Structure 1
Amino acid sequence: MIIIPQDKIASYKARGWWGETRLQDLFARNLARDPGAEAAVDPLNCEDLIGRAPQRLSWEALDDLAERYAAVLTAHGIGKDDALVVQLPNLVDLPAIYLACCRLGVIVSPTPVQYRENELAFIAASIRAKGMVSAARIAGYAGTAAALQVKEEVASLEVVFSLGETVAGSVGLDAALTEVTPQMRDAATAAIEAAAITADDIVTICWTSGTEARPKGVPRNHNEWLVMGEVVADAAELETGDRMLNPFPMVNMAGISTGFVAWLMTSGTLVQHHPFDLGLFLRQIQEEKVAYTVAPPAILNMLLQNEALVDGVDFSHLRNIGSGSAPLSEWMVRGFKEKFGIEIANYFGSNEGAAFPSTYHDFPDPAQRAAFFPRFDPRFTWKAVLHDRCETRLVDPATEQPVTEPGVPGELRMKGPSVFAGYWENPEATARVFDAEGWFRTGDMFEIAGDKDQFYRFVGRCKDIIIRGGQNISSEEIEGYLLAHPAVADVAIVGEPDEKLGERLCAFVVFKPGQCASKDELNGFLREEKHVAVFKQIERLEEKEQLPRNPVGKLLKRELRAEFA
């Protein structure tokens, strides 16, 4: 299915930004290059996760598994332009399923394993899914039973495929994959040839995180995914054959661009990890000789703050770590380089295709890399691969006037081959997210910085700016400062309604075990160590055991705001 306007496709291809290469073509290249090389590795805790021993597959074995998945899907009437909901943890099966669907032209809609019947039914109905893949159990969750319940509610859903124990009413994949016949393979091959998939066909419909509203479907084709994979491979300095550890669920931009697309592009080994377990994570880094991995800032901060956690761990093969989704601190970026010789790449991105990597090559100074991103503007040249393909600008969201002065917050707007065409069958939401001139409204506030105005500095979400007495305050700015406090493990700054000031700053803080700090102590730190203006200091402190986050780790501030009601 092709949904991108043909004139846009032609324009991008004429400029060399898009091509005719499909994801399965990269796989075929890797298979031909070294069929016996190790391609994918299951999580160490696979037995506890879904009830089977961990598997290690070569490119040849993974190709066979993908062929068998294609045969099973074809035998049950799942073909070109059909939608398939996939709810599985990070297993070797995920790249096999994704490859099978790429070849057949089946649209994959992956979902977090934390989703339940309500979210799954919404997604399946929204895309008129014909099939769903889950597992009889995913840790303590009966995934297949939930999928069967969704099947009762969604008219389009005809078949549920299940890994693990046999569940009545579903197609047991363990048996089905084993019983694939030559005739079934031939039927799948014929379906693949008839589908005649191009690089412009949709591969996936992923879902926005839903931190502020109901999730929206984001379709992406092969070319759009290849651009994002190139961003990751370039920023991470991936080399052919590198072993990468993927702890991010392969359900959205972060997980798929790293654990599927960049992996295919570099012909390396994908080591899967799920759910996040710090002990297993460190063990895999060492035992699997991992060259690249990704982790949220909170985890990286923890590793630097607790030497006992990394005592004796061999990081000698690990060259780079990608991080993002929250502000990075200078001391963390600097600390990993000085202590372990590891460079931290700072990513800003979204499912919709905004992508800014801040890497060692463009930002050798850790302080700059933690705080700034390259300003994609014809006046500036960067090593980041998208710098000459994407256009950006800052706009005052209230007045729609361009922001051109440094230090003035504005919403980031973006155009280019990485940006999606619109939400799945949601013209109202699509109209809201593109302005009158076709720029994608990221919903993120940045300001121009640098001695030549060459940087962007992230200020916060448009909806996450606190207006106190007429003064705009970035929640992320204050959160970044407080994360440097020795007693703070995690923090969220939220605007509490106030009759006189409009809003005042409330800090929801998770303290490190055995540590604590008062509001006055935290404000003293902001004032004396970070030299923060008085109006930016916190006025209410709420201690929490943990902060609410969605399945992909994004903070759910709406739940914190609800506490004020």
Structure 2
Amino acid sequence: MRLHPQERIDEYVAAGWWRDDPAWTWDALFRARVAERGDATAVVDPANREALLGTPPRRPSWTELDAEVDRFAGVLHGAGVGVDDVVGTQLPNTVELVVAYLACVRLGAIVSPFPMQYREHELSTLAPVAGLRAFVTVSRFGDRPLADEASSVGGVEVVALDGPVSAAASAPPAVKRHPSDVVTLCWTSGTEATPKGVPRCANGWNVIGEGCAAAPALTADDVILSPFPLVNMAGFGGVLVPWLLTGATLVQHHPFDLPTFLGQIARERVTYTLAPPALLTGMLRAPGLLDSADLSSLRVIGSGSAPLSGWLIREWRDRLGIEVTNFFGSNEGVPLISDQHTVPDPDARAAYFPWFGGPGLTWPNPTSAGVRTRLVDVESGDEVTQPGRPGELRVAGPTIFAGYWSSTTDPFDEQGYYRSGDVFEIAPHDPTLLRYVDRARDLVVRGGMNISPAEIEALLVAHPAVAEAAVVGYPDDVLGERVAAVVVPVDRAAPPTLTDLVETLRAQRIASYKLPERLELADALPRNPVGKILKRELRERLR
């Protein structure tokens, strides 16, 4: 299934940004690494796997992993999965997650990953939108019966992948795929109640993966520790594709546990990992923590999802000899990378990004090739060309997706640029750099997970004691943000409590990370002249 117009594919191939080559598909890249790496370790399970899944951790070689992928592809084929079928997955970061993804790719199917935090509410909402043919998960994860939760959605065959597959029901068929065919269908929270599907092809992902591999200079000798869920831009573009491109060793981690994380770095001799800014700050400030940890193998840490500080980058570099790369991206394909090569000064790297696609600008990072960007004043629609004036970042080129899945929403402007909804400004001191200002949308990012306020608000106002509700984020040193509900009660003398609201939301079977952790009562919500709620004002009040 190719969603990009053929003229665009031809244009990108002719320019050298994409490839018209079956060897550039994910299955072909994987097979090439198997041929090169053979008995070298391909993937390592989380060290605490047995406590989570009841089975011991594994570390298959590339050859062993290839055999597992082939067997599970046969299982999926026996379940009726074929070319362009959408397969939902809800798996922790384990060997089996990689097996499931690559087995789907081998069959020509489309992987649609769902975060582990999703429950029946989210699954039953999104499964029909995706048109799932099958759903791959584990029987249990801790005390959660994931396979039963998925089965309750109905209409989708659930396949439990709890360990290595010893035999396949049938041999997987040989399929021909093009790198412009869709391989993933990820989900974005947006600001709407229902997340939107973001289909992407290998050509689009590989351009981003090349840049994410180039920033830390990854090679086959590297060991990548992946603590972020492999379900979105950070997972696919930042980890999985660089692993496929380089043949490095991938060490899995999930859910996040600091002692396990530090132990894996020391034991596996990890050279590159990812971590949110709040965690990096907390590790620096924890008395004695890093003095007792063995980080001698670690060269680079990738970070993002929230603003970094120059102090943080400088401390990791000067105190520990570890560089921090600042990433900014989205499932739709916005790609900004600020690393020690392009922005060596820590203060600048924390606040600014090289202006990929800026007028007349070129950068060494391969992801920047072909990217075109513009800043647009969201009120007037004027092009922003002067420093210090905020504008929405709009992006076109080989990293950008073709449009939302099964949606009439048009995310592109009149010039064909993707409207990111993210506000930047040209740096006053250097017009080759961009500074991130704020999210135009009102997403709350809690521990790296995007939360749609509109979804929670719609459920809150169903409570009989709630007249109006607004959901916003408030700062937190550990998670970056937590969720606050600002509520106008029906009866000021008998307002709802936080416990009341949380119980109501739990009854809707929503993911726990979306639950409000703070309640503020108000006589009225602040609004602008056209009636829109001023959430910036609410956030300032909560600070």
Q: Shorter-chain-normalised TM-score: which range?
A: 0.7 to 0.9
Aligned to 1:178: 166
Tell me the distance in 1 between the aligned counterparts of 2:158 and 2:245. 31
Contact 1:246 1:258 in 2 (8 A): no
Q: How does 1:388-407 map to 2 (within 5 A)?
A: 388-407=369-388
> Structure 1 residue aligned with 2:355, among 375, 383, 386?
375
Deviation at 1:129, TM superposition (A): 0.7
1:332 pairs with 2:315: no
Tell me the distance in 2 between the aligned counterparts of 1:45 and 1:559. 28
Tell me the distance in 2 between the aligned counterparts of 1:560 and 1:446. 30
Deviations along 1:160-191, one digit per CA (max 9) or x if unpaired, are 11134xxxxxxxx76xx22336xx22xx1xx2
Aligned to 1:18: 18
1:272 pairs with 2:252: yes
Deviations along 1:272-300, one digit per CA (max 9) or x if unpaired, are 00000111111111111001000000000
Identity fraction in percent: 44
Deviation at 1:457, TM superposition (A): 0.3
Give the letter aligned to residue 162 of structure 1: A
Tell me the distance in 1 between the aligned counterparts of 2:474 and 2:43. 40
Deviation at 1:125, TM superposition (A): 0.7
Aligned to 2:276: 296
Deviations along 1:494-528, one digit per CA (max 9) or x if unpaired, are 9xxxxxxxxxxx9945478xxxxxxxxxxxxxxxx
Give the letter aligned to residue 140 of structure 1: D
Tell me the distance in 2 between the aligned counterparts of 1:394 and 1:96. 41
Give the letter aligned to residue 64 of structure 1: A
Give the letter aligned to residue 282 of structure 1: L
- Equivalent pairs counted in the alignment come to 465
Pick which of 123-132 and 285-294 moved more.
Answer: 123-132
Tell me the distance in 2 between the aligned counterparts of 1:563 and 1:225. 45
Contact 1:104 1:197 in 2 (8 A): no
Deviation at 1:212, TM superposition (A): 5.2
3-state DSSP of counterpart to 1:393:
strand
- RMSD value, Cα: 2.6
Contact 2:100 2:136 in 1 (8 A): no
Q: Tell me the TM-score normalized by structure 2.
A: 0.81
Deviations along 1:80-99, one digit per CA (max 9) or x if unpaired, are 11111100100111111111
Aligned to 1:456: 434
Pick which of 293-302 and 220-229 moved more.
Answer: 220-229
Contact 2:275 2:303 in 1 (8 A): yes
Contact 2:190 2:441 in 1 (8 A): no
Give the letter aligned to residue 91 of structure 1: T
Q: Which runs of no fewer than 5 residues in structure 2 stay unpaired?
A: 446-450, 454-471, 479-504, 506-510, 526-543
Aligned to 1:105: 108
> Structure 2 residue aligned with 1:127, among 127, 130, 136?
130
Q: Tell me the TM-score normalized by structure 1.
A: 0.78
Contact 2:96 2:161 in 1 (8 A): no
3-state DSSP of counterpart to 1:403:
coil
Aligned to 1:237: 217
Give the letter aligned to residue 208 of structure 2: M
Deviations along 1:331-357, one digit per CA (max 9) or x if unpaired, are 000000011100000000000000100
Deviation at 1:197, TM superposition (A): 1.2
Tell me the distance in 2 between the aligned counterparts of 1:305 and 1:150. 44
Tell me the distance in 1 between the aligned counterparts of 2:442 and 2:385. 22
Contact 1:211 1:557 in 2 (8 A): no
Give the letter aligned to residue 86 of structure 1: T
Aligned to 2:53: 50
Give the letter aligned to residue 203 of structure 1: V
Contact 2:276 2:306 in 1 (8 A): yes
Aligned to 2:121: 118
Contact 2:282 2:477 in 1 (8 A): no
Contact 2:30 2:244 in 1 (8 A): yes
Tell me the distance in 2 between the aligned counterparts of 1:557 and 1:417. 37
Tell me the distance in 2 between the aligned counterparts of 1:388 and 1:450. 25
Deviations along 1:141-161, one digit per CA (max 9) or x if unpaired, are 11000111012xx4xx2x211
Contact 2:422 2:438 in 1 (8 A): yes
Contact 2:52 2:141 in 1 (8 A): yes
Aligned to 1:445: 423
Tell me the distance in 2 between the aligned counterparts of 1:557 and 1:163. 29
> Structure 2 residue aligned with 1:257, among 226, 232, 237?
237
